[in-house]
Amino acid sequence: MSLKVATWNINSVRLRAGLVGRFLQDHAPDVLCLQETKCPDDSFPLAAFRKLGYDHIAVHGQKGYHGVAIVSRLPFEARDARRFCDKDDARHIAVTLTKDAGAAAGITLHNFYVPAGGDIPDPALNVKFAHKLQFLDEMIEWGQRDRPAAGRSILVGDLNVAPLEHDVWSHRQLLDVVSHTPVETTKLGVVQESASWVDAMRALRPEPEKLFTWWSYRAQDWEKSDRGRRLDHVWLSRELEGSLASMDIVRGARSWERPSDHVPVTVTLAL
């Protein structure tokens, strides 16, 4: 059995429901994890997903900001939505696939939307950056305490950090830009190490290849300038590392009409 998992910061699921439908029809993941859904739970477009065969849906949203969701063709249980930094700001949701999911049964998926952090990389001057650093610190504590990667687990999401030199268009020029500052990249590395997660994307396409999943709306011609960053991630527990078969960054989605500034990432496991 193969299991295909996708992650995508959609930047408003209601505004871009048509794009999500196009992606699901073209790429057919078994599970899609969305971030920045920007809608309360009772406004999530359930019918649109169920029409495409994604009958199993877990949402954790709020009005206008943030929000995460998991839509799946495979059944799941044990929905868990954690609070970080004592805020109810809808940045995490997790589910566990049931026995009816075949060889994927028992796999837990964690979907995260880490705070972006604003523009000034100084926690003393920027409360948004301070929030981001605290969120990463609490992810480290969660990894050390709960050992979420001890079994068969997958962590995906918009982690809002491009950790490696070739995860950005210019390492030197972005060292003092939020998402690639040393304090952020170091903390994200500790998050990964705290629970022994495997970076699936880099396991298949290691540096020095450049990998980007986000291109700013500010660019007049994003494709020509190609000033991207890898902000979206897929991590696997060690138990699943050997099943990693393929990975795809759906770069073309950045050119769709009224796109998100992020593109989907898919990972396929041979279970």
Listed by start position, the domains of the chain span: 2-270
CB 87 within 8 A of CB 111: no
Q: φ and ψ at 227, to 5 degrees?
A: -90, 70
Q: Are strands 31-35 and 2-9 parallel, antiparallel or unpaired?
A: parallel
For 88-99, what is the mean pLDDT? 97
Q: φ and ψ at 254, to 5 degrees?
A: -70, -15
Reported as a single tens digit per residue, the pLDDT across 194-204 is 999 999 999 99
Reported as a single tens digit per residue, the pLDDT across 61-80 is 999 999 999 999 999 997 89
**What is the pLDDT at residue 9?**
98
Structure tokens at 55: 């009958």
For 135-162, what is the mean pLDDT? 97
CB 256 within 8 A of CB 216: no
Q: How far is CA 133 from CA 39, 47, 121, 148, 176, in A?
A: 25, 37, 10, 20, 15
Helix (H, G, I), strand (E, B) or coil at 196: coil
- The superfamily CATH assigns to domain 2-270 is Endonuclease/exonuclease/phosphatase (3.60.10.10)
Residue 174 confidence class, pLDDT cut points 50, 70, 90? very high
**What is the pLDDT at residue 78?**
77
Q: Please state, in angstroms and rounded to a whole number, the distance separating the CA atoms of residues 155 and 6.
A: 11
Closest CA to 156 of 74, 36, 56, 265: 265
User: Edge-to-edge, what's the strand order for the sheet holding 153-158?
Assistant: 76-80, 92-97, 108-113, 153-158, 232-236, 198-199
- The two most distant CA atoms of the chain are separated, in Å, by 50
Half-sphere exposure of 249 (CA within 13 A, CB side): 22
